[in-house]
């Protein structure tokens, strides 16, 4: 066994200038593709809400134009001021006009809320306006701002920039135990209906732009005002087509594609699970590929694919990658929260061999029951990894962050375990990659996310896809799911 600490991975910003911190990098250098043709200037946003929420969002955006000061007195690197969408940072601005705003009337809202099953009716009310706005040319992002009573109908802990109080990966993986039926919420139902609009949507909670107590969900952490502004504006930049930052690429390493594989059940939990792959390039752009049905293995109680379905899933994922990038990666890393059986390995290998990939790493990633302790009262340092051998180990993606000089979390961090079940990459390199992939969540500008983007995306995509009708065309880009 070997104990080591992975150095905080560098991120690339404008003109490939490097920094370990997202907000410091954006403030100092600017977004990675600032000024490129893929970033609209200005970013034209449409908005749907009630009179009160539309006015609240307008006022908040106006206040954010000139920046939002930080209330932090000591840990200024952890909670820096938001400078606004300046030429230095994002190189663009937001534009919202009355013609691109739709107001939900009190009558529409009340009628939907009085229904015995109000959520689907509320979604349809908002979707009627969304379809109308999506038909307008030149619109880049749609902001949806429901009132507090809509959010009160279901828990929406995945709002803009807010991580769950306990990281998703710390919870038992849904495919490893019998889960209760899903809790319906407006966020996931609306995203499922809007997935074919060809217009990215951003839902906003009242506590983002208004009172800290408005529409507050029990257990939801409220961020400081500057952090909220950072997260919202960065997410809008990404959804409009921009790349805020990317992992700094080491020239000596092979060009790599990362794939997260997950499974999800129907809303009632009765139907067989369906596989889905999230294909990420080194820029962090995600592409969604749906696969075939899965079945539980009676021995390990985990879902698995047949060899043919495993082959089809990865073959379709690589075809999607080729259409996007006009080439193939030299190496592919697949993350899965359950083990790989013999049929899956054979199917994935066959798909990789067909495209002549040089390296295929099949890696199981899951929460770990192993804990490491350090002297004193501070939690483990982020990046601490214990390598069991050349193919497995644990790594802390949350913990004390030397750059911040503090542990930013509210709960005792837990490590994740990784096992390379096939391939050749060392455990030290796999641990380094997992730490890096935890910095590619474009909805959160605090970089110590508790799970890699491959796993985080798997959960979010599954939460939404389970509500998508079978005949609805799904947009392949991950930015439509966040």
pLDDT one-digit tens code per residue, 283-298: 777 888 888 888 887 7
- Asked whether 174 and 455 are in contact (CB, 8 A), the reply is no
Domain final residue pick, 220, 239, 258: 239
Q: Are residues 235 and 262 in the same domain?
A: no
Residue 316 has pLDDT above 70, yes or no: yes
- Asked whether 68 and 82 are in contact (CB, 8 A), the reply is yes
For residue 42, give Cα distances in angstroms to 89, 136, 171, 195, 242.
Answer: 14, 16, 40, 24, 12
Q: How far apart are CA 455 and CA 59, in angstroms?
A: 36
Question: What's the pLDDT band for 173 if we cut at 50, 70, 90?
Answer: very low
Q: Are residues 213 and 322 in the same domain?
A: no
Question: What's the pLDDT band for 448 if we cut at 50, 70, 90?
Answer: confident
3-state SS class at 118? helix
Domain final residue pick, 206, 239, 272: 239
Q: How far apart are CA 234 and CA 245, in angstroms?
A: 10
Q: Which of 22-26, 162-166, 324-328 has the lowest mean pLDDT?
A: 162-166
Do the domain assignments include residue 282? yes
Q: For residue 319, what are the contacts with CB-CB under 8 A and spacing of at least 6?
A: none
Q: Are residues 89 and 229 in the same domain?
A: yes
- Model confidence pLDDT, tens digit, residues 217-276: 544 556 899 999 999 999 999 999 999 999 998 877 888 999 999 888 877 766 677 778
Q: How far apart are CA 84 and CA 95, in angstroms?
A: 14
- The pLDDT, as a whole number, for residue 177 is 35
Q: Are residues 352 and 256 in the same domain?
A: yes
- The pLDDT, as a whole number, for residue 7 is 95
Q: Which domain holds residue 390?
A: 246-480
- Model confidence pLDDT, tens digit, residues 360-389: 999 999 999 888 888 888 889 999 999 999
- Model confidence pLDDT, tens digit, residues 31-41: 999 999 999 99
- The pLDDT, as a whole number, for residue 369 is 87
Query: Token digits for 171?
Result: 């919870």
- Model confidence pLDDT, tens digit, residues 42-68: 999 999 999 999 999 999 999 999 999
- CATH at residue 71: 3.40.50.2300
Residue 176 has pLDDT above 90, yes or no: no
CB atoms within 10 A of CB 102: 18
Query: Token digits for 84?
Result: 């606004």
3-state SS class at 207? helix
The dihedral of CA 440, 445, 449, 455: what is its sign? negative
- The pLDDT, as a whole number, for residue 336 is 93
Q: Are residues 215 and 251 in the same domain?
A: no
Q: Are residues 103 and 165 in the same domain?
A: yes
- The pLDDT, as a whole number, for residue 435 is 96
Residue 162 has pLDDT above 50, yes or no: no
- Could you report how far apart the first and last alpha carbons of the chain are, in Å? 38
Do the domain assignments include residue 8? no
Pairwise pLDDT comparison (432 vs 219), residue with the higher score: 432
Q: Which of 154-168, 229-243, 249-263, 305-319 has the lowest mean pLDDT?
A: 154-168
What is the number of residues in the chain? 482
| DSSP string of 454-469, one letter each residue | HHHHHHHHHHHHTTS-
Q: Which of 341-350, 381-390, 466-475 has the lowest mean pLDDT?
A: 466-475
Q: Which of 174-178, 262-266, 417-421, 468-472 has the lowest mean pLDDT?
A: 174-178
Q: How far apart are CA 427 and CA 72, in angstroms?
A: 38
Q: How far apart are CA 436 and CA 431, in angstroms?
A: 9
- Asked whether 281 and 325 are in contact (CB, 8 A), the reply is yes
- The pLDDT, as a whole number, for residue 261 is 92
In the chain, the number of structural domains is 2
Q: Are residues 295 and 182 in the same domain?
A: no
Q: Are residues 306 and 420 in the same domain?
A: yes
Beta pairing, strands 94-95 & 43-49: parallel
Beta bridge partners of 11: 19, 247
Beta bridge partners of 288: 278
- Model confidence pLDDT, tens digit, residues 61-111: 999 999 999 988 888 899 999 999 999 999 999 999 999 999 999 999 999
Q: How far apart are CA 135 and CA 151, in angstroms?
A: 27
Which residue bears the tokens 């030149």? Answer: 138
**Strand locations in 216-293 (E):** 246-247, 256-264, 274-280, 286-293
Spacing of C-alpha 119 from chain mean position: 24
Query: Token digits for 267?
Result: 């809303």
């Amino acid at each position: 066994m070997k104990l080591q600490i992975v150095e905080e991975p560098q991120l690339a910003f404008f003109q490939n200038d490097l920094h370990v911190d997202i907000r410091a990098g954006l403030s100092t250098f600017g977004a990675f593709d600032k000024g490129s043709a893929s970033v609209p200037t200005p970013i034209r946003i449409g908005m749907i809400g009630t009179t009160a929420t539309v006015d609240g969002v307008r006022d908040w955006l106006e206040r954010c134009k000139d920046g939002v000061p930080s209330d932090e007195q000591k840990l200024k690197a952890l909670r820096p001021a938001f400078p606004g969408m300046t030429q230095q940072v994002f190189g663009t601005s937001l534009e919202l006009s009355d013609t691109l705003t739709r107001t939900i009337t009190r009558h529409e809202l009340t009628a939907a809320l009085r229904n015995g099953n109000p959520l689907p009716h509320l979604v349809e009310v908002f979707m009627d306006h969304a379809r109308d706005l999506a038909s307008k040319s030149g619109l880049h992002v749609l902001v949806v701002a429901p009132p507090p009573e809509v959010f009160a109908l279901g828990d929406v802990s995945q709002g803009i920039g807010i991580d769950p109080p306990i990281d998703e990966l710390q919870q038992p993986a849904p495919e490893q135990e019998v889960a209760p039926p899903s809790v319906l919420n407006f966020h996931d139902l609306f995203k499922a209906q809007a997935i074919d609009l060809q217009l990215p949507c951003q839902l906003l909670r009242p506590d983002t732009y208004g009172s800290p107590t408005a529409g507050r969900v029990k257990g939801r952490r409220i961020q400081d005002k500057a952090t909220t502004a950072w997260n919202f504006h960065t997410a809008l930049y990404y959804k409009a087509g921009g790349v805020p930052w990317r992992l700094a690429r080491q020239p000596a390493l092979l060009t790599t594609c990362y794939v997260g594989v997950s499974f999800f059940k129907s809303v009632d939990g009765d139907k067989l699970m369906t596989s889905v792959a999230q294909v990420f390039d080194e820029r962090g752009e995600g592409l969604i590929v749906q696969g075939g049905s899965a079945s539980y293995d009676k021995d390990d109680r985990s879902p698995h694919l047949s060899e043919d379905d495993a082959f089809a899933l990865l073959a379709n994922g690589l075809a999607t990658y080729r259409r996007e990038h006009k080439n193939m990666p030299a190496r592919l890393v697949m993350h899965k929260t359950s083990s790989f059986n013999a049929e899956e390995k054979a199917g994935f290998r066959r798909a990789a061999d067909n495209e002549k990939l040089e390296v295929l790493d099949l890696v199981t990633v899951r929460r770990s029951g192993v804990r490491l302790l350090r002297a004193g009262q501070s939690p483990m340092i982020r990046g601490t990894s214990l390598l069991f051998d050349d193919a497995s180990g644990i790594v802390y993606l949350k913990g004390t962050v030397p750059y911040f000089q503090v542990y930013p979390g509210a709960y005792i961090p837990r490590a994740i375990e990784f096992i390379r079940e096939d391939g050749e990459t060392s455990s030290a390199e796999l641990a380094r990659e997992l730490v890096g992939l935890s910095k590619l969540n474009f909805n959160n500008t605090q970089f110590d996310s508790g799970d890699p983007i491959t796993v985080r995306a798997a959960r979010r995509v599954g939460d939404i896809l389970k509500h998508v009708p079978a005949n609805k065309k799904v947009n392949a880009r991950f930015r439509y799911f966040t």
